């Protein structure tokens, strides 16, 4: 039996551009002269992502978001005429990729920014021991490694692939393509290097455990259905083709792998430490991009397969949602580190989004997609602000970020535009009207009520009111306390400031005029090959 590939390369163009550019970025790192590598990569990476987004818009402007549009699958066609789908472009996957590309573009603008003296957020050579002779020589020569940017492209390609997968095997490959570069990126911080390397090690070890659970779930589901295809698995579940215990065990183990990536309790332990230790631009990229990709992939799997076993999963999912909201809310109250505060905030937000996933309502698709878009934009902006807030050493030179909340005293009074942007992001996280966060929470809570999850929605609303306390605590410190003389906003080249401005404008625009985006997302459906 002879097999042939049946692929529409036009529809694959955005993913091919990003993945191919990542490979080419590695060659740039190898062959471009050392002094020109960072500048070359810093121009090349955002241009590639913008190009992919433009090609994407041109490709799908013909109506892929319409309910009447047939799904486009990329499959292996065997001699018998059977089709085993691996990737699928449907309205949901199309919207997911747009969200991921927008987040990636904004994140890269923060990553490539350097101080006016040429200092980046990344170590000149991450393999150097902190305080060693080798590190001193790296600093003296102004050497700056730039492989972080190709790694970011590889991770972005995995994120784009994740929501397209209709095969459990491809889903696992996409998960690893997304995750492996992040394990490296977490260990590359210029300042607090040992903390950064510790964060990377924790993320890698716990990520390996989650991948093992994920793989075991795949094995059990393959044993149940005899196939790795989501459509075949869904049919087998509908027909009751095997043991319910085998099926439920497989679904739960696979969900553990996905819930780890979104930072849901009890799979959240890595989140605060990794957020704090990773380079701040990488933290923003992870917090926004990984959460978006993982939730969008979770929606496809849950709506396609797990929804049929919802009565058996209800208790588990309700427990996870409540614990996620409670832990994210109350642990956030006691944090004195801005990055850890935002880490626990992200855990609480994961619980809010899971309400829409568990609702299984048709509106949940648009609700989840809009929420991860609005949350992702505000998150990139907030971590972008953190990259600019630095401490000062005895010589008057700016050093590492000031992450302690008390050190942000008076920041908004001394730098009103930066403080105003941070307020916008915090108000969005709190779900205050006229911000995208309010619309996002409204949509997910509405989906939860439609899906009969009113008790969970009530818990979430109460938690939202409580989380507002620690957001407004930071606002109070920035604008009402006396300025801290040891805190500065570092003079930078400006790409991070541009990203922060775009994030602030988008956060307000999606909160004031959400209609066009919600109407577009409301046309999404999930197809199965």
Cα 354 to Cα 325: distance, rounded to the nearest angstrom: 10
3-state helix, strand, coil in the chain (%, to 5): 70, 5, 20
For residue 352 the two structure tokens come to 């809010």
Strands 389-392 and 487-489 turn out to be antiparallel
Cα 262 to Cα 242: distance, rounded to the nearest angstrom: 30
Strands 398-401 and 4-6 turn out to be unpaired
b/e sequence 430-455, b meaning 16+ C-beta within 10 Å: bbbeebbbbbbbbbbbbbbebbebee
Cα 45 to Cα 181: distance, rounded to the nearest angstrom: 15
| pLDDT (0 to 100) of residue 484 | 79
Length of the chain: 529
In this structure, are residues 102 and 184 in contact, taking their beta carbons and an 8 Å threshold?
Answer: no
Cα 506 to Cα 442: distance, rounded to the nearest angstrom: 18
CA neighbor of 251 nearest in space, from 308, 200, 208, 206: 308
Name the phi and psi angles at 527, rounded to 5: -100, 160
Assign residue 243 a region: left if phi > 0, alpha if psi is -120 to 50, beta otherwise?
beta
Cα 85 to Cα 484: distance, rounded to the nearest angstrom: 58
For residue 435 the two structure tokens come to 């911000």
Query: Which DSSP symbol is given to 308?
Result: G
Query: Which DSSP symbol is given to 286?
Result: I
Residues 213, 303, 72: CA angle, nearest 5 degrees: 105
Handedness of CA 130, 133, 134, 135 (dihedral sign): positive
Cα 140 to Cα 374: distance, rounded to the nearest angstrom: 42
Q: What is the greatest pairwise CA distance in the chain?
A: 76
114 three-class SS: coil
In this structure, are residues 123 and 190 in contact, taking their beta carbons and an 8 Å threshold?
Answer: yes
Query: Which DSSP symbol is given to 399?
Result: E
| pLDDT (0 to 100) of residue 33 | 86
Which ranges of the chain have pLDDT less than 50?
A: 1-4, 64-84, 529
For residue 258 the two structure tokens come to 């996905």
In this structure, are residues 436 and 378 in contact, taking their beta carbons and an 8 Å threshold?
Answer: yes
In this structure, are residues 188 and 149 in contact, taking their beta carbons and an 8 Å threshold?
Answer: no
Assign residue 131 a region: left if phi > 0, alpha if psi is -120 to 50, beta otherwise?
left
Cα 444 to Cα 436: distance, rounded to the nearest angstrom: 12
| pLDDT (0 to 100) of residue 403 | 85
Would you call the peptide bond into 358 cis, given omega within 30 degrees of 0 as the criterion?
no
- How many beta carbons lie within 10 A of that of residue 70, not counting itself? 9
Q: Which residues pair with 189 in a beta bridge?
A: 122
Q: Which residues pair with 88 in a beta bridge?
A: 73
For residue 293 the two structure tokens come to 């990709």
For residue 330 the two structure tokens come to 């109350």
Cα 148 to Cα 291: distance, rounded to the nearest angstrom: 20
For residue 373 the two structure tokens come to 């878009």
């Amino acid at each position: 039996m002879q097999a042939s590939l049946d692929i529409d390369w036009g529809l694959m163009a955005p993913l091919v551009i990003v993945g191919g550019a990542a490979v080419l970025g590695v060659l740039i790192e190898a062959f471009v002269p050392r002094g020109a590598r960072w500048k070359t990569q810093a121009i090349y990476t955002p241009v590639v992502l913008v190009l992919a987004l433009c090609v994407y818009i041109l490709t799908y402007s013909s109506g892929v978001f319409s309910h009447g549009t047939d799904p486009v699958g990329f499959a292996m066609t065997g001699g018998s005429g059977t089709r085993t789908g691996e990737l699928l472009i449907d309205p949901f996957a199309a919207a997911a990729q747009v969200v991921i590309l927008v987040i990636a573009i904004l994140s890269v603008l923060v990553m490539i920014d350097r101080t006016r003296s040429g200092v980046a957020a990344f170590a000149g050579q991450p393999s150097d021991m902190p305080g060693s002779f080798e590190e001193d020589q790296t600093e003296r020569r102004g050497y700056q490694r730039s492989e972080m940017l190709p790694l970011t492209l590889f991770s972005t390609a995995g994120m784009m692939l994740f929501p397209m997968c209709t095969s459990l095997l491809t889903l696992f490959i996409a998960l690893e393509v997304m995750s492996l570069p992040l394990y490296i990126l977490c260990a590359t911080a210029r300042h607090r290097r040992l903390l950064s390397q510790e964060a990377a090690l924790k993320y890698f070890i716990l990520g390996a455990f989650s991948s093992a659970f994920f793989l075991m779930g795949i094995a059990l589901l393959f044993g149940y259905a005899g196939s790795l295809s989501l459509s075949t698995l869904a049919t087998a579940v509908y027909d009751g083709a095997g043991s319910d215990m085998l099926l439920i065990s497989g679904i739960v183990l696979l969900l553990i792998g996905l819930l780890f990536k979104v930072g849901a309790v009890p799979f959240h332990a890595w989140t605060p430490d990794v957020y704090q230790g990773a380079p701040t631009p990488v933290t923003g990229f992870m917090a926004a991009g990984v959460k978006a990709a993982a939730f969008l992939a979770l929606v496809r799997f849950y709506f396609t397969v797990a929804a049929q076993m919802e009565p058996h999963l209800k208790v588990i999912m309700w427990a996870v949602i409540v614990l996620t909201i409670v832990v994210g809310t109350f642990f956030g109250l006691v944090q004195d580190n801005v990055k850890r505060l935002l880490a626990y905030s992200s855990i609480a937000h994961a619980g809010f989004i899971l309400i829409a996933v568990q609702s299984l309502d048709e509106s949940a698709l648009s609700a989840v997609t809009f929420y991860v878009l609005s949350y992702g934009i505000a998150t990139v902006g907030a971590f972008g602000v953190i990259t600019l807030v630095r401490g000062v050493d005895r010589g008057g030179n700016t050093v590492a970020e000031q992450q302690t909340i008390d050190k942000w005293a008076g920041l908004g009074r001394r730098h009103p535009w930066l403080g105003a942007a941070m307020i916008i992001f915090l108000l969005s996280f709190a779900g205050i009207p006229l911000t995208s966060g309010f619309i996002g929470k409204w949509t997910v809570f509405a989906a939860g009520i439609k899906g009969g999850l009113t008790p969970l929605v009530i818990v979430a609303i109460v938690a939202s009111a409580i989380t507002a306390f620690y957001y407004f605590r930071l606002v109070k410190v920035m604008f009402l306390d006396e300025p801290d003389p040891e805190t500065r906003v570092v003079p930078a080249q400006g790409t991070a400031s541009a990203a922060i401005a775009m994030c602030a404008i988008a956060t307000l625009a999606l909160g004031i005029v959400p209609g066009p985006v919600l109407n577009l997302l409301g046309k999404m459906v999930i197809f199965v090959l």
